[in-house]
Amino acid sequence: MNPIKLIATCGLAAALATGIAVAMPAAASPAGDSPAGDKDKQASKADGHAHAKVGETAPAFTLKDTSGKDVSLSDFKGKVVVLEWMNPGCPVCRDKCEKGDVGKMMADSKAANPDVVFLFVNSTAATADKPQESAEYLKKNKIDAVALIDGDGAVGHSYGAKTTPHCFVIGADGKLAYDGAIDDKGSTNYVVNAVKALKEGKAVSPATTSPYGCSVKYKKK
């Protein structure tokens, strides 16, 4: 065997044997052109969970907010609902909040549709059992919305939430209309665009993008 190839092969084997994560290159794909069905199938195969799909009815759920009150998706029947996965310990999530990006997203969305509802979901095992942290996180960043605690990660898995932040927009008809990143890391906020499109009766485009941020650290079973 070629000496260089032998060294590379041994290095990979050693890394795997010691539990070191090895990053493998992935094919690049545009943020907004992944067919929803293909993305969901691939994700389901990866973690063994069936995920919400754009165009289909959003998974129902009931979670407790930071004060211990039950909040159900059905409570907002007939309204556009935005779900954003959050984690007070995630630097990307904090950056988006502290710089005012999340606040602006909410203000711009409400300007387009005053009835839109924002729900922040915490499925991160390390902080989900400390609901007060989530409440203080939103209050500190002047985010007037409810934080929901998904300690066992069931809701996060049902939606296929991968990162903090990861956003989902549910139409007034109860169907998932958008799944992906909060924005394009620039001036385009995908959530605001989705809320505007739904209000105007237009198709949401893009309907799916690749979320970015810290991976959701679900509770291990």
Looking at residue 42, what is its pLDDT?
37
pLDDT tens digit string along 155-169?
Answer: 999 999 999 999 999
Looking at residue 59, what is its pLDDT?
97
What residue spans define the domains of the chain?
A: 37-215
The whole-model pTM stands at 0.79
Q: What is the mean pLDDT of residues 19-36?
A: 34
CATH of domain 37-215: 3.40.30.10
Q: What is the mean pLDDT of residues 126-142?
A: 92
- Does pLDDT of 26 surpass 60? no
Alpha carbons 80 and 159: distance in angstroms, whole number: 16
- Cβ atoms < 10 Å from Cβ of 65: 17
Contact yes or no for 150/123 (Cβ under 8 A): yes
pLDDT tens digit string along 173-210?
Answer: 999 999 999 999 999 999 999 999 999 999 999 999 99
Q: What is the mean pLDDT of residues 118-126?
A: 96
| Cα three-residue angle 71-64-74, rounded to 5 degrees | 20
Amino acid occupying residue 142 = K
Looking at residue 9, what is its pLDDT?
37
pLDDT tens digit string along 45-99?
Answer: 335 556 889 999 999 999 999 999 999 999 999 999 999 999 999 999 999 999 9
* Chain Cα centroid distance, residue 134: 16
Looking at residue 205, what is its pLDDT?
97
Amino acid occupying residue 25 = P
3 state DSSP class of 81: strand
Is 30 or 106 the better-scoring residue by pLDDT?
Answer: 106
- Does pLDDT of 38 surpass 80? no
- Does pLDDT of 106 surpass 90? yes
Mean pLDDT of the chain: 83
Position 37 confidence tier, pLDDT thresholds 50, 70, 90: very low
Cα→Cα distances 106→21, 43, 45, 84, 196, Å: 37, 28, 33, 11, 12
